[in-house]
Structure 1
Amino acid sequence: MCSTPKLLVTQGRQATYMALSYSWGLEVRHNLQLRKRTLETLQREGIVESEMTRSHREALQIARMLGYRYVWIDAFGIIQDDDDDWAAQSRQIADVYGNADLTLIAGRSDDSRLGFIQNVPSPSVPPCSIRYRSPGSSTSEDSTCYIGLQLTKATGPVEKRAWCFQESNLSRRKVTFGEQQLSFKCRHSNIYEDGSYVTHVPGNWLRDLSIRPSADRKVEPMDVLKRWYELTMQYSLTEVYDPTDNFATLCGVAKRFQEALQDSRYLAGIWECDLLRGLLWRSRRLYLGPNSRQPLRRPLGVKQLQGQAIERAPSWSWLALEGPIIQATGKHYEKVFSNEANLRCRPLHNDGGTWSPDTWDPDVIVYPFPQCRLNITGFILEVRRSSIPTASYGRKHRWNYSAARIKEHAVLLEAVSDAKQSTGDHFSGSIVAIGLFDVEDQGSSMALYAMCLTYEEGLMLEKTEDGYYRRLGVFSVEEDGVFSGVSSDMRSVTLI
């Protein structure tokens, strides 16, 4: 790399380069970045390093030490005031990071103005010094041994950034300036500064998204989908400054999976070949694991949409909300979805599994997003939120979650109409399901509808003025009779 860095427009030329993955910082705008008016100047006259953000300067410093002549940094690789260039380059992120010889991850810094090399937090408990003298030592002086807590392997604040999540997963070789130590990760192993390491099985693209899926490496579709659900649950823990970037920050990862699931369409974060399972995502509020106390929330806009609640995805998509989710994964769901007899709805136009008449793919990343409707043939039951407290419900429920969390967050649903089966059973006013709203404090007075996706679970919906339905949450069936044997009552439903 030359002493005075310059912007290079590659125009198809290829070379070995390093990429930087970092957090800009909340509402941080770099003093020096690529803009329409600076494009020619940065190419011709070069970049004044002293005017660069500290994280950018430190990345150049490391690149020089490692012998890299070229570095890709988003602030200079994307024209920041050109929406078309932003969209075009964002769609190439999988290749930008997947083709980089090395990705430098500034994991420990959440503000690019502060840098990341020296930004190391102090341990919660300082090291303890112990004086000792080796037996048989020729010197009479004592030595000192320092004992402290094990260094964490956590990446740091960058781990919670949606853009960085994608960049890290798409990179084949990484040096991470982590929360307390350095680490190096490649396709073979992870090596940490404290001497610990983890080895990998090389060539598995499901674990290394920088590798493109290929026809000669056969992978079962269900294995691909399992990995997708695993990654989306991790992704849901991340944050992004502009919530309308939600599809852009997942674009590169989705493209890798699209290459593997060639016969399936990507519908706003869900794969059409596994649509019903994909629709059964839910908040972690009933779950006892990490992040389960964090509720889902509606995204609020920034910039021109400052503070406004925005609709950034169809209501049925997990990308519509912010916060940690759980997907319908595990052996139980594998058993449920392996048998079509367990399913309770189908595509309206049964032409081989096309659930939506609309077009959507991973390259849809520019807000406002197009409409994506799901046309379904299913059974809908009008229900209401029961006034009976969930805590007083004595029956054993199907959901395999903490009983205490169910009492705290779930609601009881009762049938509104006199639902009657051939057996003559009446269900009006009885508890027919247990529901979990995606966003809390909903459904106290609104008309609710329940649509089964499987024999045991389904979606809570609300009806719009134009006859469409919006997702409100999920439910677990408590009264089988009211949802079974109703093939004659199946009707067309459009989810938006």
Structure 2
Amino acid sequence: RFSLLRAWLQQCDAHTCCQRPRALEGNFPTRVLDIGNPDALRLVSNQEVFSQKVSSRRYIALSHCWGKLAPGKIPQHCTTTQNIDSRKEGRGFCVGSLPLTFQDAIKVSQGLDIRYLWIDSLCIIQGSGGDWATESGRMEAVYAGAYCTIAATSAVSSEAGFLGRDEDETHRDNQNVPRYVSDNESPNSQAYLHTRAVNFAQEVDNGPLNQRAWVLQERYLSRRTVHFSSYRMYFECGFGIYGEDYTQMKSIVGSEKFIDLDPNFPSRLGSDYFNNVIKFLQSLFETYSTRELSVPADRAVALSGLLARIGSVFECKQSYGILEKFLHRTLIWHWTIPRKENTVDENSEVPSWSWMRYKGGIQFHQIRYGEWDKFRNLQFTRDGRALVTNVWEFRNCRLQKDLGADSTGIRHQILDSSGELRGCVMYDVEDYSTLCLEWAIILGAKHESQDLYLLVVRRTAGGEYERLGTGMIHRNYVLRKDGDAIFV
């Protein structure tokens, strides 16, 4: 398997699109594992690595599931302020003392002749007095700068390992001998085109690892990734996806995977059409919102590196999953149905207008390009923690529960004085559905129509406004109030 993996990496090295950007040449994590000694490991700093005369400073990054942990409990294998000195000095620590997933990652790295390995729980100091708050913000650079990323795709925890596989499934697949096709990149070679490319989606995209929120940005930011599924190994780079079963899926301009496989994400996104960017961002946030987090508060952190990159490419401010250049379209979200798992943290520092404040899946209003005209009286404050806008007052209308829509009690109809339907509201939380219509923030108008897209808000004790839900209404049933309002 390692010979095939080495061949994939060598082939990828020849891809122009997969070349490591010069800006990352001097990039190196704060700490890495030195696995050059097969019998013992040492935790070394980047200063120590750069002071040594070594043939290569390449490192591999591991993407993995921690597994289920008791709240506040730190696994014994983690690096802490109590054991970091012993891990840095002398003979370091024994490979056998580590969880099986980490041992497998060491085997792969050594099989590729890569001396340094980065694993979050070992290279970041965990717990009290640790540097997680600082180092978690550097993960963007860690994964982007790695020689490659090892994804323990099939492992449900650090203890599970990933090099073992279902040999019966692998054998059964090999009985289905596919036809030969020419490899466009190497005309004299041949490769199998597997007829069951759907395996990749089932084993990788839907695998245990890719249900985790943190892993989404790890995958996008990695220049290339080796996925170890339950049945086979896959290699993913900017040129395409290759499988141990001879699966090939090329990354073609305009294809669904083209942006996903960007080795220097999000450079491909930055050159795409505006509407395609909107679709990608909305899909990205919808996917992320359904993923699992051991610490719910990490919802506003686990995508920060990716968002910083996107904001940089589009030269715009971004805050809590909302991007200034796409402000109106990233604000117009609502909860998925059913809503049993959607909860709001009233004590959260995340603004009410951000979907990151809540737990549960979201969806965006599907508005085609050119089908709406946005209102421009909406912008971030300097620190990005609030929005400055105008508020509108509802008039001559009332709410009625929409019993035919769903059983959650969050969707309401807006009726005029004669009972005619004039709009609808979907509340973020069931408790809000008992409120009367108060205020609205208008995001835009349906093109060549009198219908307006809005956010329902209420005034706080401090005179600011916070979000209650989203909806639509006919223009005649709202009236703009003078002066600016702060939306928090």
TM, length-normalised to structure 1? 0.73
Q: 2:455 aligns with which of 439, 459, 462?
A: 459
Deviations 1:226-248 (A, max 9, x none): 43333222211212111222232
Cα gap change, 1:213 to 1:157, in 2 (>3 Å)? closer
Q: CA deviation at 1:168?
A: 1.0
**Contact 2:237–2:263 (8 Å) recurs in 1:** no
Q: CA deviation at 1:56?
A: 1.0
Corresponding residue number in structure 2 for 1:248? 301
**Contact 1:385–1:414 (8 Å) recurs in 2:** yes
Matched position secondary structure for 1:227? helix
C-alpha separation in 2, matches of 1:27 and 1:312: 25
* Pairing 1:17–2:17 present: no
Deviations 1:313-335 (A, max 9, x none): 111001111222223455x2x21
Q: Would you tell me which structure has more helix in proportion to its own residues?
A: 2
C-alpha separation in 1, matches of 2:387 and 2:251: 40
Q: CA deviation at 1:192?
A: 2.1
Corresponding residue number in structure 1 for 2:330? 278
Matched position secondary structure for 2:219? helix
Corresponding residue number in structure 2 for 1:175? 226
**Contact 1:412–1:435 (8 Å) recurs in 2:** yes
Cα gap change, 1:470 to 1:179, in 2 (>3 Å)? farther
Q: 2:426 aligns with which of 412, 433, 436?
A: 436
Give the alignment of 1:50-449 within 5 angstroms. 50-81=96-127, 85-118=131-164, 151=199, 153=201, 154-155=203-204, 156-201=207-252, 206-208=259-261, 210-211=263-264, 223-262=276-315, 264-285=316-337, 293=338, 297-298=342-343, 310-328=347-365, 330=367, 332=368, 334-337=369-372, 342-344=373-375, 346-347=377-378, 355-360=379-384, 372-381=385-394, 386-387=399-400, 389-391=402-404, 410-414=411-415, 427=417, 431-445=421-435, 448-449=438-439
Identity value in percent: 23
Q: CA deviation at 1:459?
A: 0.8
Amino acid at match of 1:357: T
Matched position secondary structure for 1:475? strand
C-alpha separation in 2, matches of 1:237 and 1:464: 29
C-alpha separation in 1, matches of 2:267 and 2:291: 29
C-alpha separation in 2, matches of 1:161 and 1:90: 16
Q: CA deviation at 1:158?
A: 1.0
Amino acid at match of 1:280: I
**Contact 2:402–2:411 (8 Å) recurs in 1:** no
Q: CA deviation at 1:312?
A: 4.6
Segments of structure 1 that go 5 or more residues without pairing to the other structure are: 131-147, 286-292, 301-308, 348-354, 361-371, 392-403, 416-426
Give the alignment of 1:451-490 within 5 angstroms. 451-455=441-445, 456-477=452-473, 479-483=474-478, 486=479, 489-490=481-482
Corresponding residue number in structure 2 for 1:26? 68
C-alpha separation in 2, matches of 1:106 and 1:58: 9
Corresponding residue number in structure 1 for 2:449? none
Matched position secondary structure for 1:386? strand
TM, length-normalised to structure 2? 0.74
**Contact 1:224–1:257 (8 Å) recurs in 2:** no
Q: CA deviation at 1:103?
A: 0.7
**Contact 2:375–2:442 (8 Å) recurs in 1:** yes
C-alpha separation in 1, matches of 2:197 and 2:114: 35
Deviations 1:262-281 (A, max 9, x none): 1x211222112222222101
**Contact 2:444–2:454 (8 Å) recurs in 1:** yes
**Contact 1:221–1:261 (8 Å) recurs in 2:** no
Amino acid at match of 2:393: I
Cα gap change, 1:224 to 1:162, in 2 (>3 Å)? same
C-alpha separation in 2, matches of 1:378 and 1:442: 19
Matched position secondary structure for 2:149? strand
Q: CA deviation at 1:207?
A: 3.6
**Contact 1:106–1:177 (8 Å) recurs in 2:** yes
Cα gap change, 1:199 to 1:151, in 2 (>3 Å)? closer
**Contact 1:409–1:436 (8 Å) recurs in 2:** yes
Structure of higher CA gyration radius: 1
Bigger Cα displacement from structure 2, 183-192 vs 5-14: 5-14
Matched position secondary structure for 2:471? strand
Matched position secondary structure for 2:62? strand
Q: CA deviation at 1:492?
A: 2.9
Corresponding residue number in structure 2 for 1:494? 486
* Pairing 1:40–2:85 present: yes
C-alpha separation in 2, matches of 1:179 and 1:436: 41
Cα gap change, 1:40 to 1:223, in 2 (>3 Å)? same
Amino acid at match of 1:34: T
Q: CA deviation at 1:491?
A: 4.2
Cα gap change, 1:208 to 1:256, in 2 (>3 Å)? farther
C-alpha separation in 2, matches of 1:179 and 1:84: 34
Amino acid at match of 1:298: T
Cα gap change, 1:470 to 1:409, in 2 (>3 Å)? closer
Cα gap change, 1:441 to 1:118, in 2 (>3 Å)? farther
C-alpha separation in 2, matches of 1:441 and 1:120: 49
Deviations 1:63-103 (A, max 9, x none): 12222211100011111135662122112111111111111
Corresponding residue number in structure 2 for 1:133? none
Amino acid at match of 1:38: N
Deviations 1:371-394 (A, max 9, x none): x22121232326987345443xxx
